[in-house]
Structure 1
Amino acid sequence: MAKIEKPVLFFNNGCRLQVDFRLFVGKLIKYGTGPRDARGVYQKYHTYTANALIFQSAEGYTFDITDENGAKRSINIVEYMRKFKNTVIRHPKWPVVHVGNRNMTNYVPLELCTIVTQPYKGKMEANLTSKMIKGAAVGPKERFKKIEESRKGSEFGTCEVLKEFGIAIEENPIVIENASVIPPPVVRTLDSRGAKVDANVNQKEGKWSFTNGPSRKFLQAATLPKWAILDCDGVLKKEGVSGYFISKLTELGENLGMKGFRITPEVKCVTNGNLRLRHGEKLSKVEQERKLERIRVAFKELKKQEAERRSGYRGLTDRWERLCLRQSGSGTCDKQAFQQREVVGILTACIKSKNVKKPELNKQSQFIQKIGNFLLKLNSKLSGTNFSIKELTEKYFEEKTMILGADVTHPSPNAGGASIAAVTASFDLSCMRYSMHIQPQDGGQELIANMGEILAGQLAKFKESNGAYPKRILMFRDGVSEGYFPTVKQEEYEPMKAICESITEKEGIDKIKITFVIVKKRHHTRFQPMGAKDGVGTFQNIPPGTVVDTKIVHPSEREFFLNSHVGIQGTSKPTRYHVIHDDNNFTMGDLQKITYYLCYGFVRCTQPVSYPAATYYAHLAAFRARHLIEREGENADLKDLERKLTIHPDLAKRYPMFFV
């Protein structure tokens, strides 16, 4: 019996029926039997897992049964359903579904089957995600009002079970009288003449800008090497778009102090010129593969040109690095860019096609802002420094300090496969530049088993850059549930401690002190400002820098909540920080300020983010790595995956922040 492995067309009395078996194979389905009422509801339902769609109709598939007289005879599914299940099959030419035990021939007519509603565990489409976020984005005032309505409707006061256990639900939210707000730090940049200047930071929202106020240039602007543009969506073929984009990129980049834009880039289009898509239509999988192949070929040509130029210009090899700016409106091209960057060694920076098109007159400022944000990322990729935080360099990090961030990302429930562990570490004294380490591990494994080895490599990088090892290490570990706190301390902190003790003894230096903090975003704690004048932004959230370390935190261990970002949509979610070890003996006030100031260090924007930049970078690095191995199956060999995740040595050395 043949199974259907692709969408198939069936015809029933001249009517076309397209069935895609992928919609329900492996899903829980129910099929109905018995009389069918006017609403289409059957008398009885049976629940099974769908195994496959069978290339045979309900009237065409026959099997043997033994009747009441003991005689064997052949019967098809349509007749069987009518006689033994009192079910009329209205579409006998439709195919049947194999359900239940895979080793048995349990076939059910397709028309009787319904997919049982289940939580969707896959990744939602971008437009659905956007709609979901907008639907859930309500300000703190409205959110607290809904919580109060739910509390009243639940009638906790009359619940006998709660009374028996001595549990009572307070009618009003907890009020934190002594919550504090940390002022924003001093952000150090350059003015238009190249002199150091303090940015004009908004004291309430923590934002600053390179277009308004004294800040005009990056603290350390990079020089753009030989560069090219790969147009993956064909947007630059339109008249005037390419020239306008390059001119604006050049103008804004030079205003920020960057150099090298005057070298005319090669613009290469890798789209299918004969393909025309309607608005909102997506590429088929076949076209996506063809597009990826064209991108691969384009990268190979760039690499070949680079090799030819290097052979002809010996002694100038450092100047022939190739940067590719790519216009992409989907993740398809991004995946190939990641592979070419990490494996082949070509530095890439991606920008969406909608952000490249020449804007209307009333949207000029938005276009300039998007190009400016892109340049923040580009300068950092090219080993430049956009800005620094004065309090960190001149007060808290007077002693050499290394900041670590760690995160583990897991495959989606439907995908399976390996998990990715990522660790980022600062290697300059301003704690603005980071290197990264990524590695695959068993799917679902939360702990980073070889943390000691990873730290040893990052310490060597720090010493190479600064001539000495750090005296202090501050680790921010993301993605760990409370039940794992003791295990993380044993399996991750202890190996770090052992490596530091080994280096201390070998080098004859002072003890390298470690502070280990766990960062948690997955919680249900929310805050609301007491008065309207205390709110910030459109949704009137609590201001950045708000710290709560009483009443709702652990009674005996060091813990605090910090809201470091401006809430753009909905109610701000504060980040919870739990200290599991602290050799540096930071006061709570100092640790809170250091943590908050590190949230300003994220190079891709000019405002604080929701948790320290090192942890944000670790998340980005793990996300990039997943693109490289997402097609690998759940049985993929970890050694093979580790080989595929190996970063090109030239890229890692020249541009350690290539992953931002």
Structure 2
Amino acid sequence: MRKFLRNPAVIHPLSYGMFMQSKTISDILNDAFDQHTSCHLADSIKHLTIQVRGEDKLYKFDGFGPMCRETRLGDEFEDFNLNPNLPVVVTTAKADGGRGGRGGGRGRGRGGGKKMFPADMCRLIAGQRPKFISADDKVQLIRASAEAAPIRQAKIQEIVENEELFDSDMLSAFGIQVDKKAMDAQGLVLPMPNIIANGGDAVELKKSKEDCNGTWDINTFNRAASAKIWGRIVLGNDVRDRRTWEDFCKMFVTVGKRLGVDISEVPVMDIKIKNGFEYDAIVSEYESRGQSVGSLPFVLVCVPDYGNDYEIVKTISELNNGILTQMVKARNVNRPDEAMLKNLWYKLNTKLGGENWRIDVPLPDFPVPIMIVGVSISYPEPKSTDPSLVGFVGSTAQGGTQYVNTVVHQDPRLAIIHYKTFKAALRFLIGQFINENNGAKPEKIIFYRGGASEDATQAILKNELADGIRKALMEIDDTYKPGITFICSIRGSKQKYFCKDEKDMNGIGQNIPAGTVVAGYGNGVPESYSFHLASQAACGTVNPTFYQVIHDDNEIEIQNCSEMTYALSLATMRSNRATSECAPVRLASLVAERARAHWNGSKTIENEGPSQRPCPLCENMPKMRNYFINHERRIKVRGKFQESTFFI
């Protein structure tokens, strides 16, 4: 039933990206059409460009409308050879009225004031990236790109030597010479930091050639949480049957107990509902009885594989009612395995206040308090009026641990983080640090700025450090001047590194070993240094993350900085392996993504919620466009969630 996505999308053999083919939307829908597939397809091609037969201009896809036969478009389906049993395509273009209809011309009909066209007449423009990729297609993409590093290097060399792409004579005419040999670089493999788990014991690391290094196994958590009572809810009908759900929950409890969690085998709440809107009714029903779902340590929620139930449930839980939830998709319930269940518990134990493992992070040896801050931005769709959401996390305990979080919205037209955004976030983060450290302020702050690009470092240095952080701190307290280290994390760096000697190749991908760092200086920012860090192994060719230290009051040595960053890449607590970027950046990205889910969920509740009674969220949200007043209510979680990593 997922065939429709593989038909319009193909994997490009050089870039290993997924791109859309030129195909009519009706052909895609005809392959497999039902409610799930149409919703999934709509998510995949949202705001992509389409060409309409008989129209001179191009349009942006916005969604599917009613069936063609239910609109005036269906009156002429025989003349245009249209299928009346397919939904019409709604575009982002406003309707101009047309011949007695709201859709305008051929696009008239029930489109909410937007132009609509029959699916038979709409064709996707080739070469566009899908907005959403299903789990199965991600697996397909990963398998296609999982080439061993030497094979990938040979393909790159073949491209470089292709005279059709790099015509030596033409380049010489312009005085340009291209060295087609790979550059030599000297790398250093950093030592793996100590990992403590199993109630305080050191963890043995995987080092064999078969097992990708940068991973580890634990028997029990370093500090397991307690969840003696809990609840469970199933949404929709995607789970195979009741027995399947029961068996999954038994396995879930068994794995949790094995990891040391104190959890009862039988939940105190066991409910099956149709969708996310009924979830709000259940929560209200419990409150009317004098009970609170939020008083449970957590609720295990199974959501359908497709749709917006995840966003609705997270919005109702975390914005309105303070309910801690752990989500699992129906496909994982139908096909459970222990690795997946362990990953669920890695997340849940951290949410409940436990400690999966402890990483010895080699912070700079300063005799004053240090805080690590991660920053990342979630941008809206192009031309959208939704705000940009900036996620912040900050450590409050020794060793760069115990993160608190906050999200601040700003104008979507800004490409950098505004100083007022920094001011709001730093006021909260520093206040939490003071509360957790007996009134002591952080004297050294290390910023990791995610989502940067290599050509934006000068603008970030000027606008976010000098005109942003410094100005914000001065307005908070003009006597407070902590030492600042500002590091840009660039995950999409174009450089790749390959082992020159076969004996250095590591793992099934024959990559450079996990923990390999290659250092450099400058890169367009005076008095700065940088390094590429391959913090994780990979089945295919590993892509190192580029870190550029663009400002450093604290004079951290490059060796110390790279070792600290490598250790932090093991500290996200989401899985027993290093991540491609360090924990502060990854956590900031996750909290920004969760805020985007809250934003989308609140809009869905406003627009599609039950008509018989207003939703609590809707009552508190006037439908006014004021970026600095009303948007706050769409993303502000309950206070207890700001003091934890509830979003991992």
Q: TM-score range by the shorter chain?
A: 0.7 to 0.9
Aligned to 2:111: none
1:170 corresponds, among 164, 179, 190, to 179
Aligned to 2:483: 513
Distance 1:520 1:208 in 2: 26
User: For residues 11-22 of structure 1, what are the structure 2 equivalents within 5 Å?
Assistant: none
In the alignment, structure 1 residue 485 sits paired with structure 2 residue 482:
no
How far the C-alpha of 1:339 sits from its partner, in A, is 0.6
1:134 corresponds, among 131, 143, 151, to 143
How far the C-alpha of 1:532 sits from its partner, in A, is 3.4
- Cα distance per residue 1:422-472 (max 9 Å; x no partner): 111111213232111112222242322121331121011011112222232
How far the C-alpha of 1:118 sits from its partner, in A, is 4.4
Distance 2:75 2:236 in 1: 46
Aligned to 2:424: 453
User: For residues 406-445 of structure 1, what are the structure 2 equivalents within 5 Å?
Assistant: 406-413=375-382, 417-445=386-414
Aligned to 1:265: 267
How far the C-alpha of 1:651 sits from its partner, in A, is 3.8
* Alignment check: 8 A CA contact 1:407 1:422 kept: yes
2:201 corresponds, among 188, 194, 197, to 197
Q: 1:571 to 1:398 in 2, by over 3 A?
A: farther
Counterpart AA for 2:458: P
Aligned to 1:648: 638
Query: 5+ residue gaps in structure 1?
Result: 1-6, 9-18, 33-45, 61-77, 79-88, 211-215, 273-290, 311-318, 360-366
How far the C-alpha of 1:338 sits from its partner, in A, is 1.4
Counterpart AA for 2:377: V
| Larger Rg belongs to | 1
Q: 1:302 to 1:174 in 2, by over 3 A?
A: farther
User: For residues 160-239 of structure 1, what are the structure 2 equivalents within 5 Å?
Assistant: 160-176=169-185, 178-190=186-198, 194=199, 196-203=200-207, 205-210=213-218, 216-224=219-227, 226-233=229-236, 238=241
Counterpart AA for 2:597: H
Distance 2:80 2:256 in 1: 68
- Cα distance per residue 1:609-638 (max 9 Å; x no partner): 111101101111111111122264999432
Q: Any idea what SS the aligned residue of 2:630 has?
A: helix
In the alignment, structure 1 residue 330 sits paired with structure 2 residue 320:
no
More displaced stretch, 582-591 vs 326-335 = 326-335
User: For residues 229-628 of structure 1, what are the structure 2 equivalents within 5 Å?
Assistant: 229-233=232-236, 238=241, 240-259=243-262, 261-262=263-264, 264-272=266-274, 291-304=275-288, 307-308=290-291, 320-330=295-305, 332-343=308-319, 344-357=321-334, 367-392=337-362, 396=365, 399-413=368-382, 417-449=386-418, 450=420, 451-467=422-438, 468-494=440-466, 495-498=468-471, 500=473, 506=479, 512-550=482-520, 557-568=528-539, 570-628=540-598
Counterpart AA for 1:336: I
How far the C-alpha of 1:92 sits from its partner, in A, is 11
Q: Any idea what SS the aligned residue of 2:374 has?
A: strand
How far the C-alpha of 1:583 sits from its partner, in A, is 1.0
User: For residues 57-136 of structure 1, what are the structure 2 equivalents within 5 Å?
Assistant: 115=123, 117-120=125-128, 122-126=130-134, 127-136=136-145
Distance 1:231 1:348 in 2: 12
How far the C-alpha of 1:199 sits from its partner, in A, is 0.8
* Alignment check: 8 A CA contact 2:406 2:642 kept: no
For these two proteins, the number of residue pairs brought into alignment is 551
Q: 1:294 to 1:462 in 2, by over 3 A?
A: same
How far the C-alpha of 1:140 sits from its partner, in A, is 2.0
- Cα distance per residue 1:40-86 (max 9 Å; x no partner): xxxxxx843469999479999xxxxxxxxxxxxxxxxx9xxxxxxxx
Distance 1:103 1:333 in 2: 35
Distance 2:83 2:426 in 1: 65
Distance 1:397 1:240 in 2: 57
Counterpart AA for 2:442: P
* Alignment check: 8 A CA contact 1:139 1:540 kept: yes
How far the C-alpha of 1:235 sits from its partner, in A, is 7.0
How far the C-alpha of 1:400 sits from its partner, in A, is 2.5
- Cα distance per residue 1:453-493 (max 9 Å; x no partner): 31121011011112222232111001123443233223322
- Cα distance per residue 1:294-337 (max 9 Å; x no partner): 222223334455x4479xxxxxxxx9344111122425332123
How far the C-alpha of 1:186 sits from its partner, in A, is 0.6
Q: 1:386 to 1:168 in 2, by over 3 A?
A: same
How far the C-alpha of 1:643 sits from its partner, in A, is 1.4
Q: Any idea what SS the aligned residue of 1:630 has?
A: helix
More displaced stretch, 629-638 vs 179-188 = 629-638
* Alignment check: 8 A CA contact 1:30 1:116 kept: no
Q: Any idea what SS the aligned residue of 2:233 has?
A: strand
Counterpart AA for 2:457: F
In the alignment, structure 1 residue 659 sits paired with structure 2 residue 647:
yes
- Cα distance per residue 1:232-270 (max 9 Å; x no partner): 2457784644554344333332333322x1273134343
Counterpart AA for 1:207: T
* Alignment check: 8 A CA contact 1:346 1:651 kept: no
Counterpart AA for 2:332: N
Aligned-residue CA RMSD (Å): 4.1
Distance 2:390 2:567 in 1: 25
Q: Any idea what SS the aligned residue of 1:252 has?
A: helix
Distance 2:295 2:82 in 1: 68
Q: 1:165 to 1:586 in 2, by over 3 A?
A: farther
Q: Any idea what SS the aligned residue of 2:179 has?
A: coil
* Alignment check: 8 A CA contact 1:417 1:636 kept: no
Distance 2:197 2:119 in 1: 68
- Cα distance per residue 1:176-202 (max 9 Å; x no partner): 1x2111011111123xxx4x2111123
Distance 2:234 2:342 in 1: 20
Q: Any idea what SS the aligned residue of 1:518 has?
A: strand
Q: 1:406 to 1:622 in 2, by over 3 A?
A: same
Q: Any idea what SS the aligned residue of 2:425 has?
A: helix
* Alignment check: 8 A CA contact 1:405 1:424 kept: yes
Aligned to 1:65: none
How far the C-alpha of 1:175 sits from its partner, in A, is 1.7
* Alignment check: 8 A CA contact 1:50 1:100 kept: no
Q: 1:158 to 1:251 in 2, by over 3 A?
A: closer
Counterpart AA for 1:387: W
Aligned to 1:637: 626
Q: Any idea what SS the aligned residue of 2:227 has?
A: coil
Percentage identity across paired residues of the two chains? 22
Q: 1:322 to 1:107 in 2, by over 3 A?
A: same
Distance 2:80 2:374 in 1: 61
* Alignment check: 8 A CA contact 2:449 2:489 kept: yes
Distance 1:652 1:220 in 2: 21
Query: 5+ residue gaps in structure 2?
Result: 1-24, 27-37, 107-116, 608-622
* Alignment check: 8 A CA contact 2:360 2:567 kept: no
Distance 1:455 1:309 in 2: 33
Distance 1:244 1:398 in 2: 53
Distance 2:457 2:449 in 1: 11
* Alignment check: 8 A CA contact 1:474 1:516 kept: yes
